[in-house]
Structure 1
Amino acid sequence: YNQALPILKEVGNRSIEAITLSNIGFSYENQGKTAQAIDFYQQAIKVRESIQGNIKVSELKASFASQQVGAYERLINLYVDQGNFEAAFNYTERAKARAFLDQVANDRINIRAGADSQLLEKEQALKKEIIALSQRLITLRNRPKNQWDNETIANTENQLTASKTAYENLLTQIKIQSPEIADLISVDVAPLADIQSLLDTDTTLIEYFVTEERTFAFIINNNSFKTVPINVSRKQLTEELALFRDFIDLDEPYPQELQQLYEWLILPLQPYLNTTKIAIVPHSVLHYLPFAALTDGKGYLSDDYALFTLPSASILRYLPEKRKSATGNLLALGDPEVTGISPLNSARDEVRAIASLFNTQPLVGKAATENAVWSKATQSGMLHLAAHGDYNTFNPLFSSIQLVGDNQHDGLLQVHEIYELDLSSKTNLVVLSACQTKIGELSRGDEVVGMNRAFLYAGTPTVMSSLWNVDDAATGLLMKEFYSNLQGGMGKAEALQQAQKAVRQNQDYSHPYYWAAFSLTGDVGN
């Protein structure tokens, strides 16, 4: 390895240089030479971050980062063992959501400005092809099931997936050629002192970092910093969460799995949780955990704390500037009438009840169009969408909310389109009252390709979304309570906390499945 390093530096093969530096660090670590191991891991990360900083397209940056996680994990483990907790926290931040941090730190851009006209023509042709195939699939599935042509449906699904993949690749090509993307800057993570200064006196931030063998929790408020190593592996967390997400017994309000997760993730931290609000920066599998429902078997974490999540602690530098001075008006869409899609009757009642609180007219049925979002959301203080959500596992940028289409839009409000929506002027809150809207493709670099981050990029400071397929009636009740609380003067986090309490007081909805799916991401204001 040592003989290879000068050669790699001379020929400029920086990617292999980083791998070699990391391997040398690993060799020293295995020999018990901690100081040398730390030095080489730091060098490896410095080279990798230098390469990453020169990658301007967020998808390529995220893909590169996901291949580089090992050195971060090993270095963080060594720093914790040494008791150098501030350095461990710094590298935890450096390992997380860097592509998204760069997106939010830069001004909004138009990727098509200055792009090759042939690429733009190809993009339009692919869009039309995707819309046509989507419509064909709806038509094929709109027949009685005993009349389905399964072979034609399967072929059409395959063609649609291939077209979406081609579109994603084309978008990347357009971005690579974009002059505006070439001017993007890469930002450093915030120092611990800066993060502390951005927290108000009543908020504690918990940042988790999950490794193969153990998990770390960094607990930060505006005047203290604690680190708690937790002897629970990524595998144990994944298995326990999967058991809970099976929802086997909906009559048990305090599921055993959530008690075990509470014992691992919250109990050791309890002495340091002395504020009424907690900001959680999840990591790895913890992105899929409903923290509000963690329980000691007698009560829930959300009984004592108003909770919200953040993609990283460093993002606190950029979210407050997205905050608008006034709450603004409400744009509420619900129960879109779409051929082949089952109606959401409670969603229609939900948006009508919410709209009446704000003296506005809801858009329901045929009026719940995608066009309404594009034409009206930019001037709305709050955007509420009560509709079917679809998480696309093969093409996450095509995960969508199903609205009504017209001659301008296909009715599918998709992740890649949300990035182009401009909510920077008036919008303070986006509520996605639909299924699995918080779910996204999670890379090893902790980048989540999904609606949450797309709407934050679009300009709203706060998004409320769900972790699983929600119960229609219970969600309607939760939303009415949430908006009533907001209108009564509560902050967003407290409004959700109290709404969840109100829902679970109904004996039919006491299990966390009914009330814990929704969480807030971003800046919750005051």
Structure 2
Amino acid sequence: LNIINTTLPSEYNANYNKIQLIESIKIKSNILKKINKPNYESFLLLSSLLKSLRLENSTASHKDFWANENLNIYQDAIATFIDNDDIESAFTFAEENKSNLLVQSLNDIEAKSYANIPAELLEKENDLRAKLQFYQKKKFELENSDNIDSTKLIDYFELITTTEFAIDEIVDTLESHYPEYYELKYNEEDLKAADIKNILDDKTAFIEYFVGKDSAYVFTITKDNISVNSLDILSDSTNIFLKYYQSISDPNVSATFLDSHSKSTYKLVLEKALENINSNIQDLIIVPDDILNNLPFELMKNEKDEYLGFKYNIHYQYSGRLWRLLKNRKSFDKKYDFLGYAYNSDNVNYIAERACATMETGNLLCSDKEIQNIATILKDKSLLLKNANKDDILKNASQSRIVHLATHSCLDSENSDYSRIFFNDGYITNIDLQLQTMNADLAVLSACESGYGELIKGEGAMSISKGFFHAGCKSTLVSLWPVDDCSTSEFMGHFYTYLNEGLQKDVALKKAKQTYLETAHPSRTHPYYWAGFILIGDNAAVFGNGGGYLIWVMGFLGLLVFGWCIKKV
């Protein structure tokens, strides 16, 4: 047991084999765990090493591997710190295993914008990344074709490998020749509970989940408090969650079935999390994990038979670090307030859902009406694109505060990089979006399952929504199931009415759902028709500062009257 007494280096040689060191520390930690001698320094060093490996590995597949491979490290660290009443350190470890790919991608974009790197060098890197994605897409299409040409498959594999090496060489050049870029890219501060408290106001609670292989926890943070609870959601809960999802996404289930599973899911997931918040709390920020990423919390019912989404304003974050990053990101001046696109197909058949089971997609009966109605609500600075191709839409999206796509989307459950969103002349994939620059305040993906995706440990749901964050969007409004076309059109009218009044996005979303229920035909009041959309990312108002256009007008008129009175005196 000499390894127990081995002093771990506080600073290790950069050329030391980090993977071997990680394995050695894991062995030491496991031995200490068995003899009840937790070693905090081991976990802190492991954290530093894992972060270093994550930042150094350039490919998504490597990052995914490390997130999944070392989930037990985070799980054991969290348990150790909680057992010793150090909830703050436990929270920091939980945060380290959240949406690292997205956070690192956005940090890289920010670093490049401030580091005075020559445009031609950035263009060369972008060209290589475009080639890489082209080869990857061709390889994917070939692998999924009926007749696989093994020679072409090998060619694409070699092209992908060669291009990845070329990208690595450019990245090495950027990091070695532009120290400001290197520092901005890698100087990623850990997120502490105190950082969350500093951002929160006294009416908001931040709720973050960690789901490991053997244990699960929920952290609840308010302006002046942090608490943690263990959750019993790893045994038979998957079946309960699936029934909950079925009860809210299938309009044919009974009200009793819906009520029962809304309450049982609330008890498993939220009851403990909300025990320690006071009655002043109005807003919830939720960072889900694992299967919880694909469930809407708004439809969970408490012991008072209240839907959570009608008691609180709710929005979601992929991680606390991403929330901090989005809060600090500036908004850009735009040519258009609203870009609206409605899918039109050569297929003359109309369909009722914005979903697709094949590559053949039909027209949507209410999508044209949807974007016309929104443009009427917002009035000025709206651009409607009905028959435009995808390149025109993507070009104009970079000049728009809101990008609204009323179309079809298709989830690829086996490879989320190739989940698709459709345009008149084809589609773009998740991986295509990573080369785009939108910087919109809000992307509304008025399509099916745009927020639902493949679950990857440490990254969450790899939905088409994440592609829009990679493209620079500050928030997305997305669906968690195949939504009904015409009820979605009606719902969106309510949402934009409240958004135009200057309300925060999450408040506008809650009010839109309430208004839909109050006005809809009784046959279309099941949650399937109105509850599929959730807000992810920044929840700030798009128009005004949340006080509403009417308040601004009244204030302005008041000043005029006041000035007139002074003049008269």
- Do they superpose with TM above 0.5? yes
User: Equivalent residue of 2:78, what SS?
Assistant: helix
Query: 1:435-472 CA deviation, whole Å, 9 max, x = no partner?
Result: 11112333212254333222223222111111121122
Provide TM-score, normalisation by structure 1: 0.83
Query: Aligned-pair distance for 1:302?
Result: 0.7
Determine if the alignment matches structure 1 residue 499 to structure 2 residue 545: no
Range that drifts further, 334-343 or 125-134? 125-134
Within-5 A mapping of 1:123-522 = 123=132, 126=135, 154-155=146-147, 172-179=164-171, 182=175, 183=182, 184-185=185-186, 187-230=188-231, 232-247=232-247, 249-252=252-255, 254-273=258-277, 274-296=280-302, 298-324=305-331, 329-337=337-345, 340-359=360-379, 360-364=382-386, 367-405=387-425, 411-424=426-439, 427-505=440-518, 506=520, 507-522=522-537
Distance 2:132 2:285 in 1: 40
Matched letter for residue 188 of structure 1 = E
- The partner residue of 1:93 within 89, 92, 95 is 95
Q: Specify every segment of 5 or more residues in structure 1 that has no aligned partner in the other structure, as ranges.
A: 138-152, 406-410
Aligned residues: 496
Range that drifts further, 157-166 or 211-220? 157-166
Matched letter for residue 56 of structure 2 = N
Query: Aligned-pair distance for 1:370?
Result: 0.7
Distance 2:375 2:342 in 1: 11
Whether the 8 Å CA contact 1:18–1:44 is kept in 2: the answer is yes
User: Equivalent residue of 1:383, what SS?
Assistant: strand
Determine if the alignment matches structure 1 residue 46 to structure 2 residue 48: yes
Provide TM-score, normalisation by structure 2: 0.77
Query: 1:77-106 CA deviation, whole Å, 9 max, x = no partner?
Result: 122222211111111112222232222223
Distance 1:358 1:73 in 2: 48
Residue of structure 1 in register with 2:350 after alignment: none
Whether the 8 Å CA contact 1:433–1:475 is kept in 2: the answer is yes
User: Equivalent residue of 2:482, what SS?
Assistant: coil
Whether the 8 Å CA contact 2:202–2:222 is kept in 1: the answer is yes
User: Equivalent residue of 2:436, what SS?
Assistant: coil
User: Equivalent residue of 1:258, what SS?
Assistant: helix
Whether the 8 Å CA contact 1:430–1:462 is kept in 2: the answer is yes
User: Equivalent residue of 2:405, what SS?
Assistant: strand
Range that drifts further, 471-480 or 8-17? 8-17
Residue of structure 1 in register with 2:21 after alignment: 17
Matched letter for residue 340 of structure 2 = A
Whether the 8 Å CA contact 1:503–1:509 is kept in 2: the answer is no
Residue of structure 1 in register with 2:31 after alignment: 27
User: Equivalent residue of 2:206, what SS?
Assistant: strand
Query: Aligned-pair distance for 1:368?
Result: 4.2
Q: Specify every segment of 5 or more residues in structure 2 that has no aligned partner in the other structure, as ranges.
A: 113-118, 176-181, 348-359, 542-569
Q: Sequence identity of aligned pairs in percent?
A: 21
Distance 1:449 1:392 in 2: 10
Range that drifts further, 250-259 or 213-222? 250-259
CA 1:84–1:450 in structure 2 vs 1: closer, same or farther (change >3 Å)? same
Query: Aligned-pair distance for 1:284?
Result: 1.2
Query: Aligned-pair distance for 1:20?
Result: 2.6
Range that drifts further, 349-358 or 178-187? 178-187
Matched letter for residue 31 of structure 2 = S
Query: 1:214-252 CA deviation, whole Å, 9 max, x = no partner?
Result: 43221112222222233x133433222122233464342
Aligned-pair Cα RMSD in Å: 3.6
Query: Aligned-pair distance for 1:412?
Result: 1.2
Residue of structure 2 in register with 1:146 after alignment: none
The structure having more radius of gyration, on CA atoms, is: 2
